[in-house]
Structures are given as C-alpha cells and as structure tokens.
Amino acid sequence: MTRRELREQIFLMLFGAEFHAADEMPEQLLKYEETQAEWDAKDGAYITEKCGDIIAHLKEIDIAINEAALGWKTKRMGKVDLALIRLAVYEMKYDEDIPVSVAINEAVELSKKYGTNDSPAFVNGVLARLV
C-alpha cells in the first residue's frame, strides 16, 4: 500500500472508533482488519499500530484541537472532520517521518473525498492554527 492508502485506512479506523467504547477498540480493530483483504501483514501491523497510538494520545490531541478550533469543540465537530483532524494532529506532533505540510495536505485531500463541501476549509483552518 502507498502511504496515502495507509493513511486512508487509519482514518477509516479512527472514524469507526467514534462509535464504540474505548474498551471495545481492540476487538473492533481486529474485525476491521479481517474485512480488508488487500492488507498484507506488514500493512495491517502498521495501520493497527498507528491507530492504537493515536487513540493512546487522544486526550492530548483533543486538547490541542480544542485550543486551536476557535468557536468549536471536538464534541460539536462532524465525525469525519474530527477523525481527519485527529490523524493530522497526531502526524504533526508525534510522527517525525511526516512533514507538517504533508499531514495538513493529506487531511484536506481526504476531507474532499469523505467530508462535506465545507470540510476541506474547516480541516485546513483548524490545522493551520496548530502550526
């Protein structure tokens, strides 16, 4: 898988995490992985590890988002936008292999695919305030 495809799979898992309790996440990750026939063992391990790491840092990530999103709190944000912003903030703060500009651009591109017409501007605006 390409980096973009890996990132998209991580986003989809994070989006799904919004609908389950934290203690259900290991089981949900396994179920999701089982449905993805194109994953090889290396890709599956990478995706699962990154998703788990993002969830582990979720409290700090959400604090940063709430501070940057003027007039918005994570509880009010659309689930797609929130998952994309969380992924990008994780990449910006915790993944040294990914340049900040790439994390922002990829989040905006995914928001065009999965979000509303307003999502790209919203995602870009929140992430720009974190730089």
User: Over the stretch 16-35, which tens digit does the pLDDT of each residue have?
Assistant: 877 777 677 677 767 766 76
Global pTM?
Answer: 0.89
Q: Classify domain 3-130 by CATH architecture.
A: Orthogonal Bundle (1.10)
What are the structural domain ranges in the chain? 3-130
Place of tokens 């910006």: 92
- Residue 22: the pLDDT is 66
63-79 mean pLDDT: 92
